[in-house]
């Protein structure tokens, strides 16, 4: 459905002419996300407060057009795409940090704040906001909440939902609600905050967030453990936990990711290694030194070829630069990427690694794995040219197989990227009939006319 001019005029009067567009050259900038799929919206709006968003959603219900919330558009599953047309509602102009409250260790923010900028702001005050998706230089807190983003530090500190105390949100029908608390705890009524976090912009538009903070750890140290066998790296992860240590991060890169990053960045990575682990510890200096030495010994006794401890801040930053470069560097292997975000119980990572090797041998496709090994969260990528139908069919078969095995191991098909459109066809593999119906009923209660972010989670376009 294209948006009638009379409706666009009403939207202009809600947000102001400078805060909306339907020029094609501007629409294309909001037609894609990290899935590389494109759907041209009918208009893009940049509201500045909850009242404007409320008026937009009331109009959407009266006139029957769709509204799709969007932060930075870095989502990996198509959540911010206008798959059925409609208006994209961008939160970029709602980017104020209202207060960082050192006495109560909380912060009040708007959803358009870029995550990395929030990290810097709280760190200046000696505080710490742990959730750190690798996209934190550009993704927004609103998008992080909507996807319940994880990141490397989740292994020790948990994911986004663990830091959200309360919200202001606009319901699809236009009412403005406040959920949760401003206090360290609170249990009055159902937990609507937790329902909205991870709802992928389908139940409401988050307009204000109260976040929990921690004191900033005073020391952080990083190391890279290099392995000749990928299974040894996977087994080392379990061994570290068995020894009673929970590191701040344990990231994993396989040989294909090491090679493509090295080619892209020249960061000095060991291209012959079959795998490497990027491990960090944080806390008080003496404790961190002790743990780093224990982890080093443990890696070597498990069979690591070498362990390199980052001696300077620059060396540590270099390791993270390499880790964060994997996603863009992957495109050296092919023009298209199918990327999955499976999680298995940590102790089953060696089984999953063997499965991935077998899938690679069976299909002959280029497969690249990396991710948050400490959480059992593997980002599994097939790089291919989707125009090659035979390869595409083989890749789809491999994904089915991978998902079935993930669930057999007691895992989940998405650890942090959400369902969006790309995982919607697989939802029923993991979610039972009764549970799925309950979820659909919740969606209908929140959004009786289906105006907010249609075509996501339950059905794919
Ligand atoms: C290189 C790269 C690395 C990444 N690394 C990680 C990682 O380590 N961990 C991880 O979890 N993810 C990662 N991601 C995925 C992505 O960055 C996250 O899902 C992020 O949370 C999306 O934020 P965004 O602002 O870009 O949201 P968008 O992509 O714009 O939107 C994502 C979803 O949130 C909804 N939404 C946005 N704002 C609101 C709002 N205010 N209210 C309600 N709904 C809203 C949208 O409708 C959509 O469904 C990565 C992506 C890239 C490209």
pLDDT in tens, 171-208: 999 999 999 999 989 999 999 999 999 999 999 999 99
Residues 418 and 144: their CA atoms lie apart, in Å, by 11
Q: What is the pLDDT of residue 461?
A: 62
What per-residue confidence (pLDDT) applies to 394? 97
Among 169, 167, 129, smallest CA distance to 149 is for: 129
21 touches ligand 1 (CB under 6 Å): no
Q: In this structure, what token pair is assigned to residue 30?
A: 């909001």
Task: Please indicate whether residue 172, judged by its CB atom, sits closer than 6 Å to ligand 1.
Answer: no
Mean pLDDT of the chain: 96
Q: In the prediction, which pLDDT does 460 show?
A: 61
pLDDT digits (tens, 9 = 90+) for 131-175: 999 999 999 999 999 999 999 999 999 999 999 999 999 999 999
3-state percent breakdown (helix, strand, coil) of the chain, nearest 5: 40, 25, 35
Predicted pLDDT of residue 73? 98
Task: Say yes or no to pLDDT of 1 above 60.
Answer: no
Residue 459 has a pLDDT of 77
Two tokens, residue 345: 């119980």
Of 37, 31, 30, nearest in space to 337 by CA: 37
Supply the pTM of this predicted model: 0.96
Find the mean pLDDT for residues 255-266.
94
Nearest CA to ligand 1 atom 20: 144
Angstrom distance (rounded) from CA 200 to CA 205: 10
Q: Residue 76 is encoded by which pair of tokens? A: 């990996």
Closest by alpha carbon to 170, among 31, 17, 67? 67
Q: Looking at residue 48, what is its pLDDT?
A: 98
| pLDDT over 90 (residue 101) | yes
- Give the pLDDT mean for 266-287: 95
CB of residue 455 inside a 6 A radius of ligand 1: no
Residue 319 contacts residue 224 (beta carbons within 8 Å): yes
Tell the residue nearest (CA) to atom 14 of ligand 1: 135
Q: Name residues whose C-beta falls within 8 Å of residue 244's C-beta, 6 or more positions apart in sequence.
A: none
Nearest CA to ligand 1 atom 35: 201
Q: Is 268 helix (H, G, I), strand (E, B) or coil?
A: coil
Average confidence (pLDDT) over 28-49: 97
Three-state DSSP state, 70: strand
Cα(355)–Cα(405) distance, integer angstroms: 8
pLDDT reading at 340 higher than 90: yes
Handedness of CA 336, 68, 79, 99 (dihedral sign): positive
From the CB of residue 69, how many other CB atoms can be counted at a distance below 10 Å?
24
Residue recorded with tokens 């020790």: 156
């Amino acid at each position: 459905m294209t948006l009638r001019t009379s409706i666009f005029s009403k939207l202009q009067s809600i947000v102001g002419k400078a805060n909306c567009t339907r020029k094609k050259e501007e629409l294309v900038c909001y037609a894609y996300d990290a899935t590389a799929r494109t759907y041209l919206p009918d208009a893009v709006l940049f509201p500045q407060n909850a009242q404007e968003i409320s008026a937009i959603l009331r109009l959407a219900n009266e006139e029957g057009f769709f509204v799709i919330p969007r932060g930075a558009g870095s989502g990996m599953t198509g959540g911010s795409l206008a798959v059925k047309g409609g208006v994209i509602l961008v939160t970029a102009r709602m980017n104020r940090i209202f207060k960082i409250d050192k006495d109560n260790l909380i912060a009040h923010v708007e959803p358009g704040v870029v995550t990395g900028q929030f990290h810097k702001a709280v760190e200046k005050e000696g505080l710490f906001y742990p959730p750190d998706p690798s996209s934190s230089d550009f993704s927004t807190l609103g998008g992080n909440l909507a996807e319940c983003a994880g990141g490397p530090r989740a292994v020790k500190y948990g994911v986004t939902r663990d830091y959200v105390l309360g919200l202001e949100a606009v319901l699809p029908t236009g009412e403005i609600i406040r959920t949760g608390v401003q206090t360290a705890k609170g249990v009055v009524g159902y937990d609507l905050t937790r329902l909205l976090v991870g709802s992928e912009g389908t139940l409401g538009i988050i307009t204000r967030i109260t976040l929990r903070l921690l004191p900033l750890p005073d020391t952080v140290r990083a190391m890279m453990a290099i392995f000749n066998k990928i299974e040894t790296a996977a087994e080392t992860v379990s061994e570290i936990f068995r020894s009673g240590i929970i590191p701040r991060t344990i990231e994993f890169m396989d040989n294909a990711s090491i090679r493509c990053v090295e080619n892209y960045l020249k960061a000095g990575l060991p291209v012959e290694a079959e795998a490497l682990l990027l491990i960090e510890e944080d806390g008080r200096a003496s404790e961190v030194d002790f743990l780093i030495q224990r982890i080093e010994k443990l890696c070597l006794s498990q069979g690591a070829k070498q362990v390199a401890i980052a001696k300077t801040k620059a060396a540590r930053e270099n390791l993270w630069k390499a880790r964060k470069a994997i996603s863009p560097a992957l495109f050296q292997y092919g023009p298209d990427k199918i990327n999955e975000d499976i999680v298995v119980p940590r102790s089953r990572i060696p089984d999953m690694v063997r499965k991935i090797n077998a899938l690679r041998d069976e299909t002959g496709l280029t497969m690249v794995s990396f991710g948050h090994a400490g959480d059992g969260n593997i980002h599994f990528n097939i790089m291919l040219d989707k125009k090659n139908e035979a390869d595409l069919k083989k890749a789809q078969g491999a994904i089915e197989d991978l998902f079935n095995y993930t669930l057999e191991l007691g895992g989940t098909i998405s650890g942090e990227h959400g369902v969006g459109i790309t995982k919607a066809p697989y939802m029923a593999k993991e979610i039972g009939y009764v549970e799925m119906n309950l979820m659909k009923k919740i969606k209908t209660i929140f959004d009786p006319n289906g105006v907010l972010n249609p075509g996501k989670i339950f059905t794919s376009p």
